[in-house]
Amino acid sequence: MYFRKTTNLICLILFTQILLNAQEINGWTIMHYAVGSNSSEVDLLNDMNEMRIGKTSEGYEVITLIDRTPGFSEDSTVLGENFTDTRLYRFNNENFERLNGHEFLPQIRINQSHDLEMGDAAVLKNFIQYCKHYFPAKHYMLVLRSHGNGVGMCPDAESGINDKLYPGELRDVLSGNESVDILGLDVCSMAGLENFYEWRPNNEDQFSADYIIASAPLSAAWAYDQIFNRLQVDNNKNIDLDNNYFSPGPERTMNPYHMNALEFSKIILEEIYDNQAWASWGLFDNSQIDHIKRKIDELSRLLPNEEDDVILDIIQNTLGYYHNTNNNLEIAQLTSPYIDAYHFYELIAQNININNASRQLASEVCEAIDQFVIYSYCGRGFLPNTEVFQDGKNGVYQIIPIGNKVFSQTNRSFWSHTTWFHPDDKSNEQNSYGLYDWCKDGASRGNNKIENFFEYLDYLFDKDSSATGGVNKYRY
């Protein structure tokens, strides 16, 4: 009798374990936010096709919220029909399934049409909540897919105001519950320290990302089919793999049930490089961004002791990531005031006309950025040629305009055209949001002391602002 009970108990334990193994929670849910209500729609349909083809393994989910608009693509094959509204899809085993939005996105129904305002961060928040509730996993990746220009991304042109998702808006609207392991910015020109600082980990109960994949200059779409091909529960599946660009040996597949965030991030960047060798991308450890901010602010308190012309010359000669599509360098420098952070501080550290204390701190900033940039590369041919880019060090920018330069069309300084970069609310201005923590944190406004790097820029480019706040109405 005792033997029978013991045997039954063992069988029950084994059966329970089998059920638990069969119901193992997915390793990842990939949340793909595809804003195609603009000229990126054609490329987004190609992304959907790659997802459908590439997603063949269990262990992870791929959910996309896609918005389309008339006038760009008439494709009716990739997702079964041509449409101009907003829809939810799940991709699996070379197929797709249209989904209802349930309580999180109640307007999205299989049997009805609705157009969401994708430039509203509240829609993004609801999408993340939907995915986490209905497709729970050990880890989450959010991919923002559309256009980007450094100031904002994912513009929804249908609203009439071309609303975007802004870095500070994501911090304000999203909460810690929407935080992700990986934030993939499949858009142009968003790899900036100021942007990443908005999404820093351990920032109370606000949205954060542990790792970020982003491009500093212009870029193209990820190769989703090849990325998903690398995610395989069955490691014996025959898949063509390249040599690994970032470390010795061949690339390899990963089991999505057991793959951590850093491993997945590396796969993505490897496949980006394989398909965009002409571009420039980076993988960043966002847990380091607080340290970088503190070091840069510490240096900013010394820089007023240096000769202004020396710093201005360094800014002028730092590698720039100009969103240049019209071959007009002046307009490109004005609208994309993004210069490589590592190169800027490296030039300070190497300049014999700068005091030793500042040079030492600049070297420490470089060390911090080097720890922050896990992998990066800069392509050749399409982008302006440069010999200063060092893989794994460069590839993230800082917002530093050539602020004293006068724009020929307005006879006003570049700094006066950079008022969107500000600690105050700028949402009443066209294509702007403001509210950068980078500008606010570490400074006490109006005390006539340079305490963070934003205040140093304001000192450098707006010296007569002590009483009025000058061109951007900020008084340090």
Q: Output the DSSP codes for 299-362.
A: HHTTGGGS-HHHHHHHHHHS-B----SSS-HHHHHHH--EEEHHHHHHHHHH-TTS-HHHHHHH
Would you tell me which CATH number, out of the four given (1.10.101, 3.30.420, 3.30.70, 3.40.50), belongs to the domain 25-276? 3.40.50
* 452-459 contacts, C-beta under 8 A, 24 or more apart: 452/296, 452/297, 452/300, 453/296, 453/297, 453/299, 453/300, 453/398, 454/421, 454/423, 455/300, 456/300, 456/301, 456/303, 456/304, 457/400, 457/401, 457/403, 457/415, 459/304
309 close to 398: Cβ distance less than 8 angstroms:
no
Q: What are the sequence ranges of the domains in the chain?
A: 25-276, 289-372+394-472
The amino acid that residue 365 corresponds to is V
pLDDT at 15: 45
Q: Which residues contact 302 (CB under 8 A, 6 or more apart)?
A: 355, 357, 358, 361
Mean pLDDT by 10 residues, the chain (476 residues): 49 44 82 88 90 95 92 82 93 92 97 92 98 98 95 82 88 97 97 98 92 94 96 78 85 95 97 93 98 98 98 96 72 93 98 98 98 93 80 97 96 96 92 95 94 97 78 92
206 close to 232: Cβ distance less than 8 angstroms:
no
What whole-number distance in Å separates Cα of residue 305 and Cα of residue 299?
11
Which H/E stretch holds residue 383?
none
Q: Which residues contact 365 (CB under 8 A, 6 or more apart)?
A: 292, 295, 296, 299, 345
pLDDT at 323: 59
pLDDT at 145: 96
**Helices 341-350, 289-300: inter-axial angle, 10-degree rounding:** 40
What CA–CA distances, in Å, run from 258 to 28, 43, 51, 463? 9, 31, 21, 55
Nearest to 192 by CA among 216, 168, 220, 157: 216
pLDDT at 381: 64
Neighbours of 126 (CB within 10 A): 21
pLDDT at 202: 85
Three-state SS string over 398-453 comes to EECCCCCCEECCCCEECHHHCCCCCCCECCCCCCCCECCHHHHCCCCCCCCCCCCH
What whole-number distance in Å separates Cα of residue 189 and Cα of residue 187?
7
Nearest to 198 by CA among 443, 454, 452, 436: 436
Q: Which residues contact 123 (CB under 8 A, 6 or more apart)?
A: 65, 105, 116, 117
* Residue 36, CA atoms < 13 Å, CB-side half-sphere: 28
- Structure tokens of 24? 């193992």
199 close to 208: Cβ distance less than 8 angstroms:
yes
Main-chain phi, psi angles of 378, to 5 degrees: -130, 125
Say which DSSP state 78 is in.
T
Q: Is 283 helix (H, G, I), strand (E, B) or coil?
A: strand
What whole-number distance in Å separates Cα of residue 311 and Cα of residue 316?
9
